[in-house]
Amino acid sequence: MRISTLINTLLVTCCMLGIGGCSQALNAPVKYFQFNQKITPMVRTSDNTDAQLRILTVNLRGALNNRGIALEVDNNQITAANYHLWSEAPDKMLTASAHQTLFSQLDKWMVVKGLPVITDTDQQSFYEIEYEIHHFNGDNAGNADISGLWRLYHSTFENGRTLKEIHYFSELTPLKDDDYSGLVETLEQTWLTINLKVAAQLKAIQLNIKTP
């Protein structure tokens, strides 16, 4: 189903559905989607890294972390698809994707997910990145919309955890195709663009944390 058609007719369809229409909807096949980010074999050791970066699980606001793919109906309403679902929770998918992108781009960082991994005395201090996603959906103008912010923290044994930076972002990307497959593909490309920009900003920070 075309996304623009779906948004324009969604409310009317819901009001007009009778028993027969509901029965047909119950028989509709469920389709599952996921990001198709390719994995490139890479190796990283503590001997050739300057700092450790921990990626916290991405936080999506409200209903955006539902398995149903989200569409904006109007400025104040989001709907989630019933038969077009993410294959896993969006927070886990976005975290894994961000990790892969940052790991590949930041060759002087030991990029990890979850708890910090202390691999060397030079890495007793570590950085953490925290994403907060406010929009993760198709909008009513034919775009994929990912907006939110990321925070960078620095932890040391002596000083504890300190907030270093906050960056807001907003990326609107025209859909590659006007259907759910096109929306998923465009959301993936948009998330990649965001994380490439994050990596570029972290590389600038890296210049100030090189081990003497």
The token pair at 82 is 């019933």
Question: How do residues 170-212 score in pLDDT, each as one tens digit?
Answer: 999 999 999 999 999 999 999 999 999 999 999 988 666 654 4
Place of tokens 């994995």: 39
Residue 123 has pLDDT above 60, yes or no: no
Residue that wins the pLDDT comparison between 169 and 7: 169
Written as one letter, the residue type at 205 is I
Enumerate the domain spans of the chain.
Answer: 3-206
The token pair at 167 is 């960056």
Residue 134 has pLDDT above 80, yes or no: yes
Residue 35 to residue 86: CA distance in whole angstroms? 9
Query: pTM, whole model, 2 decimals?
Result: 0.84
pLDDT score of 7: 57
DSSP element (H, E) containing 205: helix 180-206
Question: How do residues 82-106 score in pLDDT, each as one tens digit?
Answer: 999 999 999 999 999 999 999 999 9
The token pair at 93 is 């998918």
Domain 3-206 fold is Rossmann fold (3.40.50)
Residue 66 to residue 30: CA distance in whole angstroms? 15
